[in-house]
Copies of this chain bind each other. A is one copy, B any other.
Amino acid sequence: MHQGNRTDIARLGEFGLIEHLTKNIQLKNPETLYGIGDDAAVLHFGEKQTLVTTDLLMEGVHFDLVYTPLRHLGYKAAMVNFSDIYAMNGKPKQITVSIALSKRFCIEDMEEFYNGLQLACEHHNVDIVGGDTTASLTGLAISITCIGEADKSEVVYRNGAKDTDLICVTGDLGAAYMGLQLMEREKAVFQGDNQAQPDFAGKEYILERILKPEARKDIIELFRTKGIKPTAMIDISDGLSSDLLHICKQSGVGCSIYEERLPIDYQTAVMAEEFHLNLSTCALNGGEDYELLFTIPLSLHEEVSTWEGIRVIGHITKPERGCMLVCRDGAEIELKAQGWIALSE
């Protein structure tokens, strides 16, 4: 929450607030014909296909304002939607932004939220084209819808994975989950002792992963450059296990992934050790990674091995083989949507 001058939202009213927050918004995309200011935005994609995704974020469920700056929240709220469009192998083009807010928020709070939102949109070349601003009796609610585009031949669904395809994941996993654990711990310390200062030194990466995730535009551009189209793709929001199971279920296939191949940053490993958590569980089920999980034909094995920041973690199998994790000791365990290793600890 904003710490300096706090201007009551009632001073502007709903229309005034919307105008204040959106007056500097400039449209960047030729597909955006008309943005904020009418009953609906007007877009035109011509021969391209239109992609639509939406997310609803609720205070206390998806974010805790004790440790989430509103600027970061705005950035992340946009980013998680861009991530869904990239997961279709498309480009995000427009968003609508609806906010319900209670009286404890001031205009400066909303400015910070919009600053984060606009920064995310600048990085990804997205136009803010509409939305709704309204009152809430209790917490903050944020609903963002993102519209993107892709050539018909480019769209990648979850249902195209085939036997022997390689399973690839970008970046590393489990860091956002560890960042969340760290912030929850420091919050508890802070609430017990107001003099306590949080100790975040050396933990910047995992904090950034939870507070300011970055959707993988670069990977989609890499696919274009290399002329490669994945057979199936999803973004990792619920956790690798859960999202890989979506691909397998929708493609009607099984999979084998290897525990030793899971990409994990050293800060994630250090924190898991500190919290006495099983590191593989964090990587498999942590969620909120916003990395891309995709499958490509086996014939691309050599090619993909040379791509920086992309790890082959296993392969697709026939459906009767099930969805398996091959542990370091060679044992095979069935992948569950969440928490299976936690149970075995």
Contact = CB atoms under 8 A, between A and B. Distances in A.
Given A87-B39, A157-B38, A143 B46 contact: no
B143 A88 contact: no
Interface residues of A, number: 63
Interface stretch (A70-78, A93-101, A115-123, A191-199): A93-101
Interface string A72-112: 00000000000011011010001010111000000000000
Given A39-B84, A41-B51, A84-B40, A56 B98 contact: yes
Mostly helix, strand, loop or mixed at chain A's interface?
Answer: strand
Contact of A143 (B52, B54, B85): B54
Given A55-B98, A143-B98, A158 B84 contact: no
A148 B40 contact: yes
A337 B43 CA distance: 30
A174 B29 CA distance: 40
A52 B130 contact: yes
B39 A158 contact: yes
Nearest to A43: B50
A155 interface: yes
A60 to B, nearest CB: 4
A39 B88 contact: yes
Contact of A250 (B37, B130, B155): B37
Contact of A138 (B50, B132, B134, B139): B139
A62 B134 contact: yes
Contact of A52 (B49, B51, B61, B96): B96
Contacts of A84: 39-40
Question: Can you tell how many copies of this chain the complex includes?
Answer: 2
A319 B45 CA distance: 36
A79 to B, nearest CB: 14
A103 B211 CA distance: 27
Contact of A58 (B50, B52, B55, B137): B137
A216 to B, nearest CB: 12
Contacts of A61: 100, 134-137
Contacts of A88: 38-40, 42
B138 A52 contact: no
Contacts of A234: 38-39
Contacts of A94: 52
A295 to B, nearest CB: 14
Contact of A46 (B39, B47, B134, B337): B47
Please give me the 8 A-B residue pairs with the lowest Cβ-Cβ distance, nearest first.
A143-B143, A56-B98, A40-B53, A39-B87, A40-B51, A43-B50, A145-B145, A39-B84
